[in-house]
Amino acid sequence: MNNKIKWILITAALFLVLILVSLLSLTSGEFEISLGQLLPFLLDPSSMEYSVLMNIRLPRILLGIAVGGILSMAGVVLQGIYRNPLVEPYTLGISGGAALGVSLSIVFQLHIIIGAFMLSLSGFAGAFVAIFLVYFLSMKKGSLSVNKMLLIGVMISFIASSAMMFLLSVSTVEDVHSIVFWIMGSLEESNTMLIYALLIGAFAGLLLVSLFVRELNAIRIGEDQARHLGINTGVVIRILFVILSLLTGICVSVVGIIGFVGLIIPHVVRLFVGTDFRILLPCSFLGGGIFLIVCDIIARTIISPNELPIGVITGILGGIFFIIILHRSKTLEKS
């Protein structure tokens, strides 16, 4: 089968799965709605069901698509740049910086004094500081050292985590609960403007990164080989790093730390579509959205009427999937 036809079929299949899991998310929850009732309720703005669908469930779906897509896209690109299958968006210290920013906002009551938006703003500020430090500390004689960037990112994560542990040890019980709950992640965001902005940013980011698929395919083989092909690897890596880091920082500031999405989804998608970024990038984006929506459904229904933090579900499922993939790869190597 021609590669392009195969890619179109795979992308269409993933898009169909995304629609199906979105419909499942709309009909699942403490307040159950059958598929046949969905359209009549959506056409009746005066009903309580309409309010549940449009104000609670649909925003979570859109946020899941945006966040899952961004984290998966960032994961697959960073793994290609670093040529390391264990790299994910949070490896570069972004999550640690955001968590520290939110923790400071909670401890100093900024979200109460100024407004609830300060949590997201503080999270993004913390992520931005981490991105700034990783970028400029990795510069050496005007060039960006990829290996140094990775090591600095890990060290910043450790420093931020230690600082956050200190804040937790001197905070009140209420503040500790707020910090821990935020760290575990949630798609429960009431600001619809923020959700739509993040969704637009996700698709804009996908479009921008897609412009570099040729360069990414070359860098994946090696930076030296890419330079021989006339690609300015330093500029490409800088542009992609800034785009993906900022998008990841916004995600973390809005939904908290949702782990394993940017690590596991690229691995799963590669098993089906290969390593060509022309198909790997859009499929990873769709796969991340599907995975996060499914995890949100489980988080909302498994102990209903209570709700689990989505980071708990992504951590458990992601860890299990990753172990299975590693075991499968070892089995294939032996055979």
**Which residues in 4-27 are b (16+ Cβ under 10 Å) and which e?**
eeebeebbeebeebbeebbeebbb
Closest among 216, 201, 222, 210 to 283, alpha carbons compared: 210
Domain that holds residue 65: 3-334
Report d(CA 295, CA 28) in Å as an integer: 12
Task: Looking at 28-116, list the stretches that DSSP marks H as alpha helix, in order from N- to C-terminal side.
Answer: 35-42, 48-52, 58-82, 94-107, 110-113
The most confident of 207-211, 214-218, 264-268, by mean pLDDT: 207-211
Task: Please give the pLDDT value at position 151.
Answer: 85
The pTM (predicted TM-score) of the whole model is: 0.88
Over pLDDT 70: what percentage of the chain?
95
CATH number of the CATH domain containing 192:
1.10.3470.10
pLDDT band at 20 (very low <50, low <70, confident <90, very high): very high
Q: What are phi and psi of 213, to 5 degrees?
A: -65, -35
pLDDT tens-digit series, residues 21-75: 999 999 887 777 878 888 888 888 888 888 888 888 999 999 999 999 999 999 9
Q: Which residue has the tokens 């990164």?
A: 209
Tokens coding 98: 């955001």
Asked if 4 and 276 touch (Cβ cutoff 8 Å), the reply is no
Tell which wins on pLDDT, 100 or 328: 100
Task: Please give the pLDDT value at position 285.
Answer: 96
**Which residues in 199-211 are b (16+ Cβ under 10 Å) and which e?**
bebbeebbeebee
Give strand pairing partners of 144. 139
Per the structure, how many domains does the chain have? 1
